[in-house]
């Protein structure tokens, strides 16, 4: 958004941002008018994301060249290049005076237009695995601007994501035109509205998903702090905020003083008490069987405290680049993986270690904070078709203990977020690595991983990241110990110890399958890139032996994951229904 001459010009990104946050449109407009200055904001993670986006776009252009297409890059006049019939036009500047945009690629197709026996369709290169609404709106705008040059609207628009051999996802333009025109008209009306009308409508910086990427975050967050916004109440949902506003409750203070005994009111009361007394407080909830403190098993000398560091943007599907764990004696182990081969070895070595340790300490458990760690192990087991029996044994045996779930079901505390770091005020853990320093080094490491610049990873960076991971593992152990003190002296049951061993029938069948797999994979390199055609065919056949069982396993893992969630947590799950209460039987 900018004022060029006397006219306000809007861009494709303005459309996407308006869809993400209407208040952002108002802030950008005030900046364009010179009424507000955008805060200075630096995020090395976003810089890395931009670099990866450029790298992905360059790779796609190279792909087009390898197909024998002529690719015209930066600085070219898009309209002139389209009239000449260039195969592909990169970074094409498009404008009609009011609206402007820069399309990643205009690709020539065999569809007649006023240009000749050809026309153009828009291609956008994106890193996101799922195409978002904002991307579709941008593509619609580019397609409209292209139509003004060639005389008709392109039939399709395309999105190319990494890891799919550059095969584009196609969207039919006409199917999205109506919604595009609606959002576009709404934005045009918005920027033409006088300030008084926008303010009377109630433009407010309510937190949205886009906040994590927004330059205006500090400005909006300061406004929310000043207003004591309800979003600072830990665990509150957007639906609850809407309901409270309908009751004229708009601040944490007002919520804390409500007469209702609902859990969210109690949460606000605890946070208000901490704000006024500067003393952290917590309250233990009513003890329920199989929930909260009842989920804590008997401590064992073999217990393990686990934490992963991962980057979802490395290659296709992300990379678990650091698996760290500590034991009861405080000893910490860091297992690094900077590529797929190392990731597999790390995963297999960890599970082999756990099984050996489990044979030594049958009562051991693996503690973690949040569901991420067992989910990551399941993902790795599926990715490499490896160690699934060992992982199944741990899952069946209830070896994994999620301390986040224990905390959420056991108590309420005067924190804005129930993170491992926010709870350290109660557990008493002191970190060795400064969190700001850790964040910066995490970004540097992940930036190098995403660009495949392994030589650019400094030893000091790895040392700091490992130190941060070590702190998380030791903090998890400290949290477990603190939770144990809360149950001390109380009659609270513990989970029964389970063996985790499969049934004889399942085990016998599995042994037969493994024997066949071993014969097929004999003398076959682990790395698929090093396999010849015959070896790769045998490798594929070996994977097919267990394909249905692996697919079925994923469904069961998801079923048991949902079973472990609270009613409150199930509210955020698309595949579950929560909050139902039996009223009466009808019919029959």
CATH of domain 55-175: 3.40.1350
HSE (CB half, 13 Å, CA atoms) of 506? 9
CA 258 to each of CA 248, 268, 286, 299, 560: distance values in angstroms, whole numbers, following the listed order? 11, 10, 21, 40, 37
Whether 475 and 482 have beta carbons less than 8 Å apart is answered as: no
Total Cβ atoms within 10 A of residue 17: 21
> CA-CA distance, 86 to 395, in Å (whole number)?
57
pLDDT value at residue 557: 74
pLDDT value at residue 310: 96
CATH of domain 298-501: 3.30.420
pLDDT value at residue 506: 66
Instruction: For the chain, give every domain's residue range.
Output: 1-41+177-204+214-226, 55-175, 229-279, 298-501
Q: Does the reported pTM lie above 0.75? A: yes
pLDDT value at residue 497: 85
Query: What does the pLDDT look like over 410-467, one tens digit per residue?
Result: 999 999 999 999 999 999 999 999 999 999 999 899 988 988 888 889 999 999 999 9
Query: What does the pLDDT look like over 179-193, one tens digit per residue?
Result: 999 999 999 988 887
**Chain CA centroid to CA 406, Å:** 23
pLDDT value at residue 588: 62
pLDDT value at residue 502: 67
DSSP string for residues in 391-454: HHHHHHTT-EEEHHHHHHHHEEES-SS--TTTTHHHH----SS-HHHHHHHHHHHHHHHHTT-G
DSSP bridge partners of 439: none
- Are 55-175 and 298-501 the same fold in CATH? no
Please give the order of strands across the beta sheet that includes 366-368: 332-336, 319-327, 304-311, 366-368, 400-402
Residues 6+ apart with CB under 8 A from 571: 237, 578, 579
- The residue ranges of the chain whose pLDDT is under 70 are 45, 75-76, 195-202, 261, 500, 502-507, 588
DSSP bridge partners of 306: 325
124 sits in which H/E element: strand 119-125
């Amino acid at each position: 958004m900018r004022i060029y001459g006397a006219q306000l010009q809007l861009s494709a990104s303005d459309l996407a941002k308006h869809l993400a946050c209407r208040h952002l449109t108002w802030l950008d407009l005030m900046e364009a008018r010179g009424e507000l200055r955008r805060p200075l904001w630096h995020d090395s993670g976003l810089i890395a994301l931009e670099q990866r986006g450029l790298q992905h776009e360059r790779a796609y252009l190279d792909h087009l060249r390898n197909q024998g297409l002529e690719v015209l890059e930066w600085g070219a006049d898009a309209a002139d290049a389209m009239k000449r019939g260039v195969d592909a036009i990169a970074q094409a500047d498009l404008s009609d005076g009011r609206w402007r945009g820069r399309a990643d690629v205009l690709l020539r197709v065999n569809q007649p237009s006023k240009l000749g026996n050809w026309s153009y369709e828009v291609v956008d290169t994106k890193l996101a695995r799922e195409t978002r609404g904002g991307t579709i709106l941008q593509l619609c705008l580019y397609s409209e601007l292209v139509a003004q040059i060639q005389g008709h609207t392109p039939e399709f628009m395309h999105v190319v994501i990494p890891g799919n051999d550059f095969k584009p996802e196609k969207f039919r333009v006409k199917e999205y035109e109506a919604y595009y025109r609606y959002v576009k008209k709404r934005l045009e009306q918005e920027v033409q509205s006088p300030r008084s009308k926008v303010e009377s409508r109630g433009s407010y910086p309510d937190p949205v998903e886009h906040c994590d990427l927004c330059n205006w975050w500090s400005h909006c967050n300061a406004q929310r702090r000043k207003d004591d916004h309800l979003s600072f109440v830990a665990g509150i949902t957007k639906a609850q905020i809407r309901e409270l506003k309908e009751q004229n409750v708009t601040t944490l203070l007002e919520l804390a003083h409500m007469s209702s005994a609902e859990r969210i009111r109690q949460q606000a009361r605890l946070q208000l008490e901490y704000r006024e007394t500067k003393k952290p407080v917590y309250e233990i909830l009513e003890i329920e069987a199989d929930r909260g403190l009842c989920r804590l098993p008997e401590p064992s000398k073999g217990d393990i405290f686990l934490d992963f560091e991962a980057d979802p943007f490395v290659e296709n599907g992300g990379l678990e680049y650091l698996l760290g764990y500590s034991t009861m004696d405080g000893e910490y182990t860091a297992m690094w993986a900077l590529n797929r081969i190392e990731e597999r070895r790390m995963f297999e070595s960890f599970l082999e270690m756990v099984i050996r340790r489990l044979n030594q300490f049958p009562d051991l458990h693996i503690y973690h904070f949040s569901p991420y760690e067992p989910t990551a192990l399941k993902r790795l087991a599926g990715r490499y078709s490896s160690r699934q029996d060992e992982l199944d044994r741990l899952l069946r045996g209830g070896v994994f203990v999620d301390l986040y779930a224990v905390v959420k079901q056991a108590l309420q505390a005067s924190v804005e977020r129930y993170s491992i770091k926010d709870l350290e005020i109660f557990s008493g853990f002191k970190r060795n690595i400064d969190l700001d320093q850790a964040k910066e080094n995490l970004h540097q490491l992940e930036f190098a991983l995403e660009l495949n610049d392994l030589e650019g990873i400094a030893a000091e960076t790895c040392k700091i990241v490992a130190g941060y991971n070590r702190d998380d593992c030791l903090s998890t152990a400290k949290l477990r110990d603190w939770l144990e003190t809360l149950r001390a002296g109380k009659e609270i049951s513990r989970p029964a110890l389970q063996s985790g061993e499969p049934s004889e029938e399942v085990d016998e069948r599995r042994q037969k399958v493994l024997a066949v797999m071993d014969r097929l994979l004999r003398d076959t390199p682990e790395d698929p890139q090093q396999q010849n055609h015959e070896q790769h065919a045998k490798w594929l056949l070996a994977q097919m032996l267990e394909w249905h069982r692996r697919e079925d396993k994923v469904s069961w893992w998801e079923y048991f994951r949902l079973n472990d969630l609270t009613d409150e947590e199930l509210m955020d799950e698309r595949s579950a229904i929560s909050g139902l209460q039996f009223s009466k039987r009808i019919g029959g």
